[in-house]
Amino acid sequence: MENSKKEIPETTADDFSRRFSKRSGNLMWFLGAGVSASSGIPTAWDMIWEFKQQLYVSQRRVSAKSVADLASPAIRTQLQAHIDSLGTLPVADASDEYAALFEAAYPAEVDRRAYVDSKITGARPSYGHMALATLMKAGFTRIVWTTNFDPLVADACAKIYDATGPLTTVALDAPDLANQQIDEGRWPIEIKVHGDFRSRRLKNTTDELRHQNAKLRQVLVDCCGRWGMVVAGYSGRDSSVMDALEEAVAKPGAFPAGLFWMHRGEDPPVARVEELLDKAGQFGVETALVRVENFDEAMRDLLRMVPTLDTSIVDAFAGDRRRWTEAPRPSGSVGWPVLRLNGLPVIEMPSVCRRIVCGIGGYAEARAAVKAVDVDVLVARTRAGVLAFGSDSSIRSAFGPFGIKDFDLHTIESKRLRYESGERGLLREALTCALSREHSLHAFHRRSSDLLAPANPDDEKWVPLRTLVGQLSGTVAGCTSLVWREGISTRLDWADDRLWLLIEPRTIFEGIDDESRAFATEFSRERTVKRYNRTLNDLIAFWASLLASSHEDLRALGIGDGVDASFRLSGTTAFSRRAGA
């Protein structure tokens, strides 16, 4: 057997849906927390940060408000520094991080059960759950494995079957029942590998996970020798599950109908998932990483490919659960109250960029190549090659030393803007450059968002902003090395089949470090705590009007040759109101 790592095959959602339609009855499902995210249940990743926050607040004896924004990179860094300082918990992203943090935050099993119960109370099945139950009823799905404690699969089956009897749910306290149901062909079956949230044997701590029921694990391994598997919403960070899948894949004839791993975003899955798929491929298993937008959309694609299905219930459910509809812009007092949102429609954007195929490495190496020759080129690194905006001469000077094989145009397809792809990242950087160039803003790039602040706060164009918030820049009292500015964070997102620029007024800091982080957090809270609805509305209106005020297209580089990125924004933000208002 050759031990060298091979490239993992990938496929698109539409290709997978065609394969699924021909072999669905021979594919099991393995569901992780990601499939329940659209039902409002937090993922393990979300809960990890909540545990860190609770430990920090209780052990440091500080106000919870000071670390309330768990989406803030600065606050996450602050929380992680505290966890690391304890010296008793796993490092970030370790396979046992979730279980260890859960046990540290709530040592008593009864408290852990209460915590999980509070997270799932009131949750309703998503479209994806209903679609899966529809496949179960039609015999296209027989076995569903899950790490989740929630009852959403069972709730969906109860709606689709109009009864609670057809589905058998097996938890850790009855592993023999799983074997019995499978041997007798009593479908469908849901098997909870970490127990059920109502079970006294809730498997949620490091010690308990280590002693996961051996019988149930053996059932999983044996089933992998009889059927293929589709994995959805599962990151692969749970050692107990990955150990079982690795054991299964090494057995002759494993996953006879294939092993398909649904994955969101452009980033690769965790290393252990890549290793599993690589190992499976070496043993002759048909494998593929399936790029999807989310679980709900992936299931919608599968239902379309099985025309014989009765989808009347799930279709009606989808209509009842629709979260938004198009609505005319309200005028006068008609249609109020209205909730102003912080999204600006991107009404025009680039349709092509330059593509370069050469011997460069990853994104960091591509950025370094541009920096080495000091040219204005924006780049992204994807499987198609290096994608870029810039003059052709500048691009060639940066990547010529790496042996350019192809130098052509690359079409920016909307389907690759629905998630955090290389194309979307490139457009975000280009739009940030265009806005900073047009409106004299300083830009600070972050991993998932960009920060923009006035380059010259004393300029007359910022008088309306000063009227709203007062001083626009300065140093933090008690930490004069820490400079702050009034500004916004921006990021691109996809909704309603289009890109939106999301803007958030915030205080931006320069020179922040571990020693000054607490000063920055407190200063930011004090500065913004009294910005109530009217002020926030006026702030969003100011920034929306400013960013969309250009009389010409917003151009990232302003070049006359090559491929530039041009944008147009609408100054009318999205809004929401109660249906029928």
Reading the block at residue 272, the tokens are 């252990």
CA quadruple 270, 272, 275, 281: dihedral sign: negative
Beta bridge partners of 288: 260
**Residue 570 near residue 344, CB atoms below 8 Å:** yes
* 79-103 as b/e: b if 16+ CB within 10 A: beebbeeeeebeeeeebbbbbbbbb
Compute the Cα dihedral for 304, 307, 313, 316 and give only its sign. Answer: positive
Quick one: pLDDT at residue 572? 84
Residue-level pLDDT at 195: 65
CATH topology of domain 10-40+124-317: Rossmann fold (3.40.50)
Q: How far apart are CA 303 and CA 310, in angstroms?
A: 10
The predicted structure's pLDDT at residue 3:
43
- The single-letter code of the amino acid at 105 is A
Contact indicator for 281, 9 with CB cutoff of 8 Å: yes
Tell me the Ramachandran region of residue 185: left when phi exceeds 0, alpha when psi lies from -120 to 50, beta otherwise.
left
Q: How many angstroms separate the CA atoms of 3 and 1, rounded?
A: 6
pLDDT in tens, the chain (581 residues): 344 445 788 888 888 999 999 998 899 999 998 899 888 888 888 889 999 999 999 999 998 888 888 877 778 889 999 999 999 999 988 877 888 899 999 998 888 888 888 888 878 899 999 999 999 999 999 999 999 989 999 999 999 999 888 999 998 777 888 889 999 999 999 999 876 554 444 566 555 545 556 788 899 999 999 999 999 999 888 888 899 999 999 999 999 999 999 998 767 888 899 999 999 999 999 999 998 888 988 998 899 888 778 888 887 766 554 444 444 555 555 454 567 788 999 999 999 999 999 999 988 899 999 999 999 999 999 888 999 999 999 999 999 999 999 999 999 988 788 877 889 999 999 999 999 999 999 999 887 789 999 999 999 999 999 999 999 999 988 888 889 999 999 999 888 778 999 999 999 998 787 778 888 888 888 888 888 888 888 999 999 999 998 777 899 999 988 999 999 999 888 776 555 44
**Other residues' Cβ atoms within 10 Å of the Cβ of residue 458:** 10
Question: Are residues 580 and 380 in contact, defined by beta-carbon separation less than 8 angstroms?
Answer: no
How far is residue 536's CA from residue 530's CA, in Å, rounded to a whole number? 10
Domain ranges (residues) in the chain: 10-40+124-317, 44-120, 343-576
Q: Which amino acid appears at position 503 of this protein? A: I
Angle of CA points 367, 368, 369, to nearest 5°: 90
Query: DSSP 3-state assignment of 497?
Result: coil
* Helix/strand/coil percent split, the chain, to 5: 45, 20, 35
Instruction: Report the predicted TM-score, pTM, of the whole model to 2 decimal places.
Output: 0.63
Q: Please tell me the distance from the alpha carbon of residue 276 to that of residue 153, in angstroms, as a whole number.
A: 27
- List C-alpha distances in Å: 372 to 220, 366, 369: 52, 10, 5
3-state DSSP assignment of residue 259? strand
Please list the alpha-helical segments (H only) found in 294-413.
Answer: 295-304, 312-321, 363-373, 392-399
**Exposed / middle / buried, residue 315 (Cβ in 10 Å: 0-12, 13-18, 19+):** middle
Computed over its alpha carbons, how large is the radius of gyration of the chain?
Answer: 26
Residues forming a β-bridge with 507: 486
Structure tokens at 464: 């309306």
Helix (H) or strand (E) holding 217: helix 214-224
Classify the phi-psi angles of 139: left when phi > 0, otherwise alpha if psi is within -120 to 50, otherwise beta.
left
- In the chain the first and final C-alpha atoms are separated, in Å, by 66
Cα–Cα distances in Å, from 482 out to 66, 67, 224, 474? 18, 19, 57, 9
Q: What is the pLDDT of residues 249-260, one digit of tens each?
A: 999 999 999 999
Q: Would you say 116 and 197 are in contact if contact means Cβ atoms under 8 Å apart?
A: yes
Tokens representing 340? 């102003």
| 356 vs 483: CA distance, rounded Å | 40
Helices (H), 388-532: 392-399, 422-439, 463-469, 517-528
